[in-house]
Amino acid sequence: MIYHLYKKNIRPCKQKTSCLLSALLLLSITLTGCKTPQNVDPSAGNEALGGSSSINSSSSGDASSITNNESISEASDNTTVLNNGNPIDGPVLSKGSFDGSDYVRESVLTGDTSVSQNANVYPSLSVPTDITYLDGRYFIVDCYHSQIIYNDNLSDPLTDWTVLTDNASSGYSLGHTIVSDGSIMLADDTENNRVLVFERSGDGYTLTQIFDEIGNKPHYIVYNEGTDAFYCWSSYSGEMYIFRHKKDDTRMYLTNVVTIERLADTYVRSFTIDDNNLYFVSGLPADGSSSFLPQILKYDLISFDRIESYDVPEEIAGMVQLEHIGDLFYITVSTDLYGSQDAATMICASSIEDISSGNYETVYDDFFEGGGTPYYMGVIDGTWYLTEHRLPAHAIWSFNIDESGAITASDTIY
């Protein structure tokens, strides 16, 4: 339950062989995006330690607590955040409903009128990344099959599900998530650096709009009711793309591109909006360097001011997602700092400070058998779901919690 704090005076990269292997693995990630072969997740990196630091007092912690201070310095911990290329002064989004008067660019209309109707031909899932409930139906992002499928229940065999989009119909490739605000659905198209917009058409859906050139491998998208906006994270460029539409009009607009320079050139899989807080899980340097300590970063959702940085132990540096469930914080972990999936797990703790110090509980083996790679979590009608990689026999789980947020039971769905 208790992980040790990382020892000081770390060797710059442990061994030349480790550095070379990390660099080769990260090159593979850049070329393929999601998770290179099915048994290898795109993560690698270097050193880390436990602890947290306030941005108001120090950008990267006290120099004496940084293990490799020849290459990691306070000056390197860039807190610069830009909105559409300009310094931020005040709220990022205008208050109230979007009126269509201030935006970066409009979506491209496809002119397509075809309706999704093709049946899924795959009897099993290949690296599923997301399960959600939209428009009265369940949707699964079947990442390695490059498709999104939907159905009205979770008991039918997968071959009874309908394909929303796939590589053959739209060029969709290795996407990760899909969300809705109740009128339209947005999905990231990771390998093509696109966001796809779907609208209901009869009993199916039509791809009506597209945004091209959305960063570098958009990886995670969320709709936030409080700001009435879609947030899409570019996983390799440190950019948050924000989309909105006018009331009673489904035409989508890219209104903001927020650049977090601290996360540029870093592979960060997801973010979490918790009230007005915005958390980014620990990411790994895309070039294999040790420029930054692995950290969970906390920002203000409205102003994008950085509030806090939490150093994390190297064993859990390759994080996937953070969820605040009841009184507990859960994090899924894909790899350690060096890209090894032997470290894949799911942890929980009472606070992020506890996670930072190594004071957390591992729940993956107890409730999900272990041996795979837990990925994104989500809740549907009070039941939580977990997608998992590398173990086809249980690619999607459901789990129940008690009032405190502690897991009480789990079950395999697909």
Q: Is the pLDDT of residue 57 over 50?
A: no
Residue 36 CA to its chain's centroid (Å): 17
Tokens of 228: 């009435």
Which range, 3-17, 36-50, 117-131, has the best average confidence (pLDDT)? Answer: 117-131
pLDDT at 55: 40
Q: Where are the domains of the chain?
A: 16-412
Tokens of 192: 């093509």
Q: Report the mean per-residue pLDDT for the chain.
A: 84
Average pLDDT over residues 117-146: 97
- Residue at token pair 């970063």: 297
pLDDT at 67: 34
Burial of 121 (0-12, 13-18, 19+ CB in 10 A): exposed
Average pLDDT over residues 194-198: 98
pLDDT at 370: 82
- Looking at domain 16-412, its CATH architecture is 6 Propeller (2.120)
Average pLDDT over residues 67-85: 61
Q: What is the pLDDT of residues 264-274, one digit of tens each?
A: 988 999 999 99
Out of 33-47, 104-118, 119-133, 356-370, pick the least confident.
Answer: 33-47
Strand residue runs (E) in 202-350:
204-211, 218-224, 229-234, 239-245, 252-260, 266-267, 271-274, 277-280, 284-285, 295-300, 306-311, 318-325, 328-335, 345-349
Average pLDDT over residues 57-70: 31
Q: What is the pLDDT of residues 142-189, one digit of tens each?
A: 999 999 999 999 999 999 999 999 999 999 999 999 999 999 999 999
173 with 191: CB under 8 angstroms? yes
With pLDDT > 90 as the criterion, what percentage of the chain qualifies? 73
Alpha carbons 220 and 268: distance in angstroms, whole number: 10
Tokens of 259: 């650049």
Strand residue runs (E) in 128-235:
128-134, 137-142, 147-151, 162-166, 178-180, 185-189, 194-201, 204-211, 218-224, 229-234
Average pLDDT over residues 106-125: 96
- Residue at token pair 């779901």: 385
Question: Which residues touch 271 (CB under 8 Å, ≥6 apart)?
Answer: 220, 222, 231, 233, 240, 278, 279, 280, 281
Average pLDDT over residues 391-408: 94
pLDDT at 77: 67
With pLDDT > 70 as the criterion, what percentage of the chain qualifies? 80
Out of 65-69, 81-85, 112-116, pick the least confident.
Answer: 65-69
Convert 197-217 to b/e letters by CB count within 10 Å (16 or more is b). bbeeeeebbbbbbbbeebbbb
pLDDT at 95: 81
pLDDT at 399: 98
Tokens of 150: 């939907």
| Confidence tier at 63 by pLDDT (50, 70, 90) | very low
pLDDT at 339: 82
Out of 1-10, 45-54, 58-67, 228-237, pick the least confident.
Answer: 58-67
pLDDT at 45: 35
Average pLDDT over residues 305-311: 96
Tokens of 114: 């075809």
Q: What single-letter DSSP state applies at residue 94?
A: P
Q: What is the pLDDT of residues 339-385, one digit of tens each?
A: 889 999 999 999 999 999 999 999 999 999 888 999 999 999 999 99
34 with 46: CB under 8 angstroms? no
pLDDT at 62: 32
Average pLDDT over residues 310-323: 96
Average pLDDT over residues 196-215: 98
Average pLDDT over residues 67-84: 59
Cα angle vertex 56, ends 55, 62, to 5°? 60
pLDDT at 41: 42
